[in-house]
Amino acid sequence: MSDKEEPKSLERRRFIRSGMQAALAVSLGGLAGFSLLKSSSKNLVWQLDPFKCVQCGRCATECVMTPSAVKCVHAYDLCGYCDLCGGYLKPDPNARSTAAENQLCPTAAIKRKYIEDPYFEYVIDEKLCIGCAKCVAGCTSFGNGSLHLQVRHDRCRNCNDCAIARLCPADAFQRVPANTPYMIKGGFTKSGGGKGKEKKG
């Protein structure tokens, strides 16, 4: 199918995705500045590898900051924009709606917005997010794994001995260069998919 023949909905989805990706890149890019300012003499900061994270909940409970410096970020390129979102909805919700009893997030930090049938967009309200990874677990188990955690460098104090890193059961934390402080996930269309190939998360 040529691009000319592409249904408008697909074009719009792609437009939204690229727009959101750009927004994420700009916001994280801006925050990279913070990490450079706060970085140690060797210019290293803490970051977690989302492919190692097993969603143990300690990013919410162990950080010296309250709420945690770890937040959920959304790789829009990976997201299916699904109505039945495993990261947004509780398992087997009463309805696919924004009603509080159907939401998985304990702080209602994920905003669900209708785009067009049957697509919905999910945006994280970082002020509300406590980095608990519940949505990450739901999205990783039943979706494409587009929701994932990252240490946000506008909040992280770059502790010498990160309290979460010490207890992370997955050894997901590592020191990374302050000028490239994020480890953001990418999409299956980029990495190539295919049956049986797709990995959890």
Partner 1 sequence: MNRKLVNIVLIVLALAIVVIIGKDFIGNKAGKNTENPYEYNVDEFRKVDSTAILYHETISFAVNADEPKGIAISGQQIIVVTEKLLLKYDYTGKELFRKELPDTADCVTVDSNNEIWVGTRHSVVSLDQGGTLLKRWNSFGDRSVITSLAVSGENVYVADAGNRIVYHCNTTGQILSKIGEKNEQKGVPGYIIPSPYFDLAIDDAGFLWVVNPGRHSLENYNPDGSLRTSWGMASFKIEGFTGCCNPAQFALLADNSFITSEKGMPRIKWYDQEGHFKGVVASPEMFDPDSYLAPDVAIDADQRVIALDFERKQVRIFEKNQDGNN
Which listed residue (48, 53, 104, 151) binds partner 1 by CB under 8 A?
104
Counting contacts by CB under 8 A, is residue 100 touching partner 1? no
Our finding on whether 24 is near ligand SF4 (CB under 6 A) is no
- Tell me if 45 contacts partner 1 by CB under 8 A: no
Among 180, 58, 72, 157, CA closest to 122: 72
CB of 128 to partner 1, least distance (A): 14
Q: Of the listed pieces 65-73, 84-92, 147-155, 175-183, which binds partner 1 according to CB under 8 A?
A: 84-92
Pairing of strands 173-177, 44-48: antiparallel
Instruction: Please identify, using beta-carbon distances, which residue of 51 and 119 lies nearer to ligand SF4.
Output: 51
| Beta bridge partners of residue 72, listed in sequence order | 149
Distance CA 120, CA 116 (A): 7
Q: Which burial class, exposed, middle or buried, applies to 42 when counting CB atoms under 10 A from its CB (0-12, 13-18, 19+)?
A: exposed
Question: Smallest distance from the beta carbon of 173 to partner 1, in angstroms?
Answer: 12
Amino acid code (one letter) for 87: G
Instruction: Round to whole Å and give the CA distance between 171 and 48.
Output: 9
Q: With CB cut-offs between 5 and 8 Å by kind, which of partner 1, ligand SF4, none does residue 75 bind?
A: none
Which is nearer to partner 1, 33 or 93 (by Cβ)? 93
- Among positions 170-189, residues that touch ligand SF4 (CB under 6 A) are 170, 172
User: Cα torsion at 59, 65, 66, 68 (round to 10°)?
Assistant: -30
Residue with tokens 């909940």, as numbered in its chain: 57
Place of tokens 């709606």: 97
Task: Establish if 10 lies at the interface with partner 1 (CB under 8 A).
Answer: yes
Interface positions with partner 1 (CB under 8 A): 1, 7, 9-10, 55-58, 60-61, 79-86, 91-92, 104, 106, 118, 132-134, 137-138, 141-144, 167, 169, 188-189, 192-200
